[in-house]
Structure 1
Amino acid sequence: MRIKFLVAGLMLGAGGMTAAQAATQITIATVNNPDMQTMEKLAPAFEKSHPDIKVNFVTLPENEVRQKMTTDIATNAGQYDALMISNYEVPIWAKNGWLVPFDNVPASYDESDMIPTVKKALSANGKLYAMPFYAESSMTYYRKDLFKKAGLTMPEHPKWSQIQQFAKKLNDPKNNTYGICLRGLPGWGENMALFSTMVNSYGGRWFDMNWKPQLTSSAWKKAATEYKNLVTKYGPPGVTSNGFTESETLFANGQCAMWVDSTVAAGYLSDPANSKVAKDVGFAQSPYATTKKGSHWLYSWALAVPKSSNHKEAAKTFIEWATSKKYIDLVGQKKGWVSVPPGTRKSTYENAEYKKVAPFASLVLNAIQTADPKDPSAKPVPYTGIQFVDIPPFQAIGTRVGQILAGIVAGQTSVDQGLSQANSVTKRMMQQAGYPKK
C-alpha cells in the first residue's frame, strides 16, 4: 500500500527523499459519480506509463465540489491542477481568463473523433478549453417487467401526462417500489436540471428577450404542479435529499418503476454488477408536454486546467489520457464495454463491442446530437442553455430557485406562492448582477 503525504508538491517518507519524490504531484477535483470513481481506480495505469506524474483526487458530491472549485478558481488559490467542470462553466470561465486552452493537442488524440455538439459546447472563441470526460442528454428509464405485468407500453417519446398515468398505476410503496424517481435535491445542477427541461417542454423559459424573469408564467406553474404531484404522490419518501447519485441507486436497487435523468446512467443500470434490474431496464426519450424543444438537455462533465495550476503541462497530459480513445478501450477491457464513458467520441458508437452490449446507444447518440442549447424553448430567449442559463449569476439563481422548489415539494409553500417568491428572487439577483446589460 502506498501512502501519499502532499507537502509542497513533494513525497516525504520515513526514509528521506527518494527518486519518487521528484515526480510532479497533480490534484484533480471531481464529482463522486460512478464514471469518475472508475477514472480514479484506473489512474495507476496512467502513473505506470507516466512515472514522472502522480495523481491525487479530491472527490466530493456535486453541489459541494462545484462550490469549492468556483471559490478556488475565482480566488486564484491554485489548490487544484485539473477540474471536473461542465459546459456551463467553460465559456464563462474561459471569458474570465481562468482556464488554459488546449492548444497543440497531439495528433494521436484525434480531435476530429469528438462529437461536434459536445466539442462546441466546451469551446469559446474557437478554442477548446476543456476535454469531455463524458457527455450526456436526458432520457426515460423504465422497468420492462413491471410495464409488462401491468399491461402498459412505454412510447418512444412519452408525454408527461402519460408518465403520471404510468406512475400512478405502478406505484407500490408497500413492496418498496415507487412509480417514479426524480431528482429533488436542491441545486442548479440537481433538481433544477430536470425541472428546467419540464418547464421548456411546457413552452416556458427562464427569461424573455429583455431578461425579465418568467417564473410566474402558466408554463412554470403547470410544470411545478406536475413535478410536485409526481414526486409526492408516486415517488420515494425524502425526495428532497435525492440527487442524481441517490436516484440512480434507487433505480438500480429495483425501487423505481421509472426514472427520468441523465443518459450516462444507461451503462451503469445495464450492468448486472451494479444493477439488480439490469435485464429489465427499458429506454425511451425524455418526456415532453406541449413541445419537444428543450425537453432533453445537453451536458458534459469535462476536465479543464485552471490558470492557477502550478503543474499545467502535467495536468494536460493526464486529461488527454483520461479523455482519449485509449482510456475508453481500457475501461472496456477492465470494466466491460457497457461501462465506458459515453457521449464524447463518434468511434464509441461505431465500436461493435459497445453496440453489442449497449441497446441504448443509438437513442443516446440521437438525444445528444438533437439537443440544441441555442434553441431551448418554444419562445425566443436571450441565452444559451437548456437546463441552465449561460450567465454567471445563474449558478446562485438556479440554486436558490431549487431550494424554493424543494419547499414547494415539502409543502412549505404553494406552487403560486413559491414561484412568485422565486421570480422576485431571480429579478433581484439579476439586477444586482447588472442585467439587463446596457
Structure 2
Amino acid sequence: MNFGRKWWSLVAMMAAVLLTASCAGAGAIGSGDGRRVLRVAVVSNPQMEDMQELVGEFEQQHPDVRVRFISLPENQARDKITQSVATGSGQFDVVMVSNYETPIWAANGWLHDLDSRMTATPGYDKDDFIPSIRESLSYQGRMHAAPFYGETALLNYRKDLFQQAGLTMPENPTWQQVADMAAKLDDDASGRAGICLRGLPGWGEVMAPLNTMINSFGGRWFDPQWNAQLDSPEVREAANFYVNLVRDYGEPGASSSGFSECLTEFGQGNAAMMFDSTSSAGTLEDPKESNVSGKVGYANAPTGPGGKPASWLYTWALAVPKTTEMPDEAWDFIAWSTSKDYLRTVGENLGWQNLPPGSRQSTYEMPEYKKAAAAFGQQTLHGIGRVDQTKPSSQPTPYEGLQFVRIPEFVDLGTRVSQQMSAAISGAKTVDEALEQAQQYAETVGENYRP
C-alpha cells in the first residue's frame, strides 16, 4: 500500500510553523546534575501514569540518564508527537504511537527498526507478544515499536444494577439489546446514565467506538474502488443509532466526553454501562481508583445487523524516532518499560490488576494476575486474539483498520468527520447534515487513490 510520502511532507511543512516556539532548546539533552535527559512523550492514561511513578527503577539502573516525561491528553499527544516526528524536529527521544502510525511512519523511514535490538536483548522475548499485536506494529515483517499495552473493546456493565432491575446481560449482546437495557437503567433522578459513550471530537476519541459500530452495521468508509461510503444506508443507520443512544441514555455533556471522561463517569458509579477499551478494566477493579470495584461485569463487544461484533484492535506502543541523539538510551528505556520484569514491578508495587494488559501472552499465565484479572483477563486475551483488522466490515474494503482507516490522510479525515459527529451528538446539527459533510471530506480523499 502507498503510505503517502507526499501527504506527510505536507503535514511536515504545516507542522513546522506550529513547532517553532515549542522546539526552542529541543537539542539540549543535558541536565543540571550532569545526567543526559531522555525525553519521552506519552498519553496521559492511567497505565502511563504508573510508568512515571515507577521510572525511578530505570534511573537507578541507568544513573547517567534522567527521564523527562511529556504527558498530554490523547488528542494533544497525537498532534504534538505527529508534528515532531513529521518535521524531524528531534523534540523527543521516545514517542508513544499506535498500530495506526507505526507501519506508515516506518515506511516513511521515520522510526528505528527495533527488531534486531529486541532479539539482542537477553530475556526480552519478542515472541511473547500476542501475535495480532506484534504483527500490527510491524512493517515488512520487522517490529518498529514495542507494545506497552494492547486492547480490544468490551461492554462493561454494573452487575448490581442489572440484578436490581431483573436484567441479564447476554455474553454476546446485540446493539439493540444494549439500547433496550440502557433505556431501562437510565435514571435522571439519581444522575445515572444508561450508558457512557465517547462523543469528544478526535479520530481516536469518538471515532473509535463509532467506527466499530459502523463496521458492525455492515458500513465502510470506502468501497474497493475508493468511492466514499459515508452516506450509505449502513453508515447512516449506524450513525443515527450511536447518536440517538448517547443523546437519549448517555452521560451529560457527551460531546465533550472521551476515554478518560467515560472511565471517570463509570468508575464513579454514574453510568450503568460503558462500551470502551479493555484497558479500562484494571482501573475499574482497583478499589483505590474506582467506586465500582467488584461490581463490574464484562460482555463481548455488541454485534450489529451487519453480523460483526464492534470489536477493535489497538495498542499504545513506544518507538524511537530517527532524529534522536540517544537511540541506545531510548531503546534501554523501551526495553525496561515493555519487559516481563516491568509487569512484575507494576504488580508488586501498584497492584496486580494494574498490569498493562494485552501485550504479552505470559501476562495471562502469571498466577497473581490471573487472580486479580479473573473478571476480565481471559476475555481481553480472547478478544485481542480473534480480531482481524484486514477485514473491518462484512463488505469488502481497500483499507485495513477496525477503529481507524489505515491511510495517512485519516489523521485529518478522521478528525474532520469526528467533529461532524460530535456536533450531531451535541445537537448542533442533524446526523444527515453531519454525514453529508463527512461524505464530501471522504470523497476528496478517495479521489487521490483512484486511477
Amino acid at match of 1:168: A
Query: In the alignment, which of 72, 80, 84 is matched to residue 92 of structure 2?
Result: 80
* TM-score after normalising by structure 2: 0.92
Aligned partners of 1:208, 1:316: CA distance in 2, in Å? 40
8 Å contact 1:294–1:371 — kept in the other structure? no
Q: What is the root-mean-square deviation in Å for CA atoms of aligned residues?
A: 1.3
User: Post-superposition shift, 1:410?
Assistant: 1.8
Matches within 5 A, 1:403-422: 403-422=419-438
8 Å contact 1:393–1:430 — kept in the other structure? no
Aligned partners of 1:350, 1:75: CA distance in 2, in Å? 42
Report the equivalent of 1:345: 360
User: Post-superposition shift, 1:132?
Assistant: 0.2
Report the equivalent of 2:15: none
1:288 aligns with 2:303: yes
Instruction: Give the number of aligned pairs.
Output: 423
8 Å contact 2:159–2:295 — kept in the other structure? yes
Amino acid at match of 1:289: G
User: Post-superposition shift, 1:294?
Assistant: 5.7
Query: In the alignment, which of 226, 239, 257 is matched to residue 242 of structure 1?
Result: 257
8 Å contact 2:218–2:395 — kept in the other structure? yes
Aligned partners of 1:300, 1:61: CA distance in 2, in Å? 16
Report the equivalent of 2:126: 111
Matches within 5 A, 1:427-438: 427-431=443-447, 434-436=448-450, 438=451
Aligned partners of 1:89, 1:292: CA distance in 2, in Å? 28
1:363 aligns with 2:363: no
User: Post-superposition shift, 1:217?
Assistant: 0.9
Report the equivalent of 1:136: 151
User: Post-superposition shift, 1:6?
Assistant: 8.8
Report the equivalent of 2:29: 9
Aligned partners of 1:383, 1:155: CA distance in 2, in Å? 32
| Alpha-carbon displacement from aligned partner over 1:42-83 (angstroms, at most 9, x marks no partner) | 001110111122100000011111111111111110000000
Amino acid at match of 2:418: G
Aligned partners of 2:159, 2:321: CA distance in 1, in Å? 45
User: Post-superposition shift, 1:430?
Assistant: 3.9
8 Å contact 1:294–1:386 — kept in the other structure? no
Matches within 5 A, 1:83-102: 83-102=95-114
Report the equivalent of 2:337: 322
Report the equivalent of 1:174: 189
SS at match of 1:104: helix
Report the equivalent of 1:44: 56
8 Å contact 1:294–1:375 — kept in the other structure? no
Report the equivalent of 2:168: 153
Report the equivalent of 1:31: 43
Cα distance change, pair 418–311 in 1 and its aligned pair in 2 (3 A): same
Aligned partners of 1:122, 1:340: CA distance in 2, in Å? 20
SS at match of 2:92: coil
8 Å contact 2:217–2:304 — kept in the other structure? yes
Report the equivalent of 2:10: none
Identity %: 47
Gaps of 5+ in 2: 1-24
Query: In the alignment, which of 366, 385, 391 is matched to residue 375 of structure 1?
Result: 391
Aligned partners of 1:264, 1:406: CA distance in 2, in Å? 23
8 Å contact 1:181–1:259 — kept in the other structure? yes
Report the equivalent of 2:217: 202
8 Å contact 2:228–2:443 — kept in the other structure? yes
User: Post-superposition shift, 1:290?
Assistant: 1.9
8 Å contact 2:27–2:90 — kept in the other structure? no
| Alpha-carbon displacement from aligned partner over 1:413-432 (angstroms, at most 9, x marks no partner) | 2222221111011112443x
| Alpha-carbon displacement from aligned partner over 1:201-254 (angstroms, at most 9, x marks no partner) | 001111100111100111111111111111111112111111000100000000
Cα distance change, pair 416–6 in 1 and its aligned pair in 2 (3 A): closer
Gaps of 5+ in 1: 13-19
User: Post-superposition shift, 1:293?
Assistant: 3.0
1:53 aligns with 2:65: yes
Report the equivalent of 1:17: none
Report the equivalent of 2:315: 300
Aligned partners of 2:92, 2:48: CA distance in 1, in Å? 16
8 Å contact 2:222–2:446 — kept in the other structure? no
